[in-house]
């Protein structure tokens, strides 16, 4: 087991990267659905999307490190009043902001029914907030697993069954495999969906951070992570071409490609030593503290840039335009969040 220590600079960097990856997904996916799969543009979107699909699993894994630490007492009262209540408040307030933004920008008429349903449903990327709230709520139950004396065996078991389940889930989506419908009859009878849930990433993050993985195994996971990006992009193209429509089966957070990509990136940040950490540690901590706000706000920023044609994904080569827009959205969202965090209510920040 790892010893208890101070704030980990590498985890702050990973959190920042995951926030940027989320933005990258939404930028690269903006034109993806409307782009024919036999075009260069589709393949650029496809590769970029395959490259950053592990963003949400990484966020969940990071949360698992802190919420499943058996040495850190997370009282049920604190979970609800400190963590859950804050997220619910953020969800409601920003859903209202997004609703009125949509009315103002798109000249829509106000109706009480649309207002209520919009606040309840939230913007499309807010699905993550109820998910993480659910994980926070069940964390006192899951922490009993991390307190078990045989946690090393449990880690190996979880990793194995999660990997196999993700692999089977991925295989079931390869529609051009001969007799796949018969194979799926068997796969669909297996309890794959019980394992392929976010609690598995929640536990996986804690275990991967706290248990040593040999250098050779890490190298294997790094190679599988790289191959996963390539295979995800290739299979997405082939399957889309075969089915005659753009499919996103392999982008799924529980595809085996996303699984290995998330594990590879997580392990890299766990073990890599960043030489300049002493110089930039304070700045990195500040940006890391803004990642929740960046996640909440970035769709507003992206929609505004695209709506008023300040910058367009198709205005120049997508190889350059996608990362350029993603960086711009990230920086604007960071600035807005940083300024909002300056506003404090009873000594506490909004984000």
Residue 226 C-beta-side C-alpha neighbours within 13 Å: 6
Residue 3 lies in a domain: no
Q: How many domains does one find in the chain?
A: 1
pLDDT at 277 (0 to 100):
63
Instruction: Calculate ∠ Cα 299-304-308, nearest 5°.
Output: 155
pLDDT tens digits for the chain (351 residues)? 444 446 888 999 999 999 999 999 999 999 998 999 999 999 999 999 999 999 999 999 999 999 999 887 678 888 998 899 999 999 999 999 999 999 999 888 999 999 999 999 999 999 999 999 999 999 999 999 999 889 999 999 999 999 999 999 999 999 999 999 999 999 999 999 999 999 999 999 999 999 999 999 999 999 999 999 999 999 999 999 999 999 999 999 999 999 999 999 999 999 998 876 666 888 999 999 999 999 999 999 999 999 998 988 988 899 999 999 999 999 999 999 999 999 887 777 878
CA distance linking residue 66 with residue 81, whole number of Å? 17
Q: What is the pTM of this model?
A: 0.94
Helix, strand, coil distribution of the chain in percent, nearest 5? 75, 0, 25
Residue 46 lies in a domain: yes
Residue 116 lies in a domain: yes
Neighbours of 8 (CB within 10 A): 14
Given a contact cutoff of 8 angstroms between Cβ atoms, the answer to whether 322 and 28 are in contact is yes
pLDDT at 7 (0 to 100):
80
**Segments in 211-317 forming alpha helices (H):** 215-243, 256-271, 277-289, 291-307
Residue 1 lies in a domain: no
Contacts of 134 (CB under 8 A, 6+ apart): 198
pLDDT at 316 (0 to 100):
87
The long-range contacts involving 173-182, CB below 8 angstroms and separated by at least 24 positions, are: 173/239, 173/247, 173/249, 173/250, 173/252, 173/255, 174/235, 174/239, 175/239, 175/242, 175/243, 176/238, 176/239, 176/242
Contacts of 279 (CB under 8 A, 6+ apart): none
Residue 69 lies in a domain: yes
Q: For residue 54, give its domain range.
A: 9-349
SS3 state at 290 = coil
Residue 4 lies in a domain: no
- In angstroms, the Cα distances linking 84 to 78, 87, 140, 202 are 9, 5, 13, 16
Given a contact cutoff of 8 angstroms between Cβ atoms, the answer to whether 331 and 20 are in contact is no
Given a contact cutoff of 8 angstroms between Cβ atoms, the answer to whether 129 and 86 are in contact is no
Block residue for tokens 């540690």: 281
Residue 141 lies in a domain: yes
Residue 122, phi-psi category: left (phi > 0), alpha (psi -120 to 50), beta (remainder): left
pLDDT at 1 (0 to 100):
46
Residue among 132, 169, 130, 128 nearest 22 (CA): 128
Phi/psi for 314 (5° steps) reads -95, 5
Q: What is the DSSP letter of 37?
A: T
Residue 129 lies in a domain: yes
CA distance linking residue 237 with residue 178, whole number of Å? 18
- Which tokens is 261 given? 């990509």
CA distance linking residue 312 with residue 322, whole number of Å? 9
Residue 95 C-beta-side C-alpha neighbours within 13 Å: 21
């Amino acid at each position: 087991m790892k010893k208890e220590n101070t704030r980990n600079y590498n985890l702050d960097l990973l959190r920042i990267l995951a926030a940027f990856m989320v933005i990258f997904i939404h930028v690269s996916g903006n034109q993806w659905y409307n782009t024919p799969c036999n075009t260069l543009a589709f393949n650029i979107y496809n590769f970029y999307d395959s490259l950053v699909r592990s963003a949400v699993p990484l966020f969940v894994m990071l949360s698992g490190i802190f919420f499943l630490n058996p040495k850190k007492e997370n009282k049920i009262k604190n979970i609800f009043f400190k963590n859950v209540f804050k997220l619910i408040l953020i969800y409601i307030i920003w859903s209202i902001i997004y609703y009125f933004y949509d009315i103002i920008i798109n000249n829509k008429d106000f109706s009480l029914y649309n207002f209520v349903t919009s606040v309840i449903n939230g913007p499309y990327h807010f699905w993550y907030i109820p998910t993480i709230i659910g994980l926070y709520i069940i964390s006192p139950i899951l922490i009993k697993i991390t307190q078990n004396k045989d946690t090393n065996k449990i880690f190996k078991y979880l990793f194995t069954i999660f990997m196999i389940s993700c692999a089977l889930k991925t295989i079931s989506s390869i529609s051009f495999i001969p007799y796949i419908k018969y194979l799926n009859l068997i796969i669909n009878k297996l309890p794959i969906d019980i394992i392929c849930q976010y609690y598995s990433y929640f536990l996986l993050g804690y275990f991967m951070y706290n248990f040593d993985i040999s250098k050779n195994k890490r190298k294997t996971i790094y190679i599988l992570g790289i191959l996963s990006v390539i295979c995800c992009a290739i299979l997405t193209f082939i399957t889309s071409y075969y089915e005659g429509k753009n499919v996103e089966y392999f982008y799924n957070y529980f595809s085996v490609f996303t699984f290995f990509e998330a594990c590879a990136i997580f392990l890299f940040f766990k073990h890599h030593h960043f030489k300049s950490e002493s110089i930039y540690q304070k700045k990195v901590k500040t940006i890391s503290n803004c990642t929740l706000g960046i996640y909440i706000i970035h769709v507003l920023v992206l929609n505004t840039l695209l709506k008023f044609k300040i910058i367009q994904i198709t205005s120049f080569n997508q190889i350059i335009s996608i990362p350029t827009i993603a960086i711009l959205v990230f920086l604007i969202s960071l600035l807005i969040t940083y300024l909002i965090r300056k506003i404090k209510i009873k000594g506490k920040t909004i984000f």
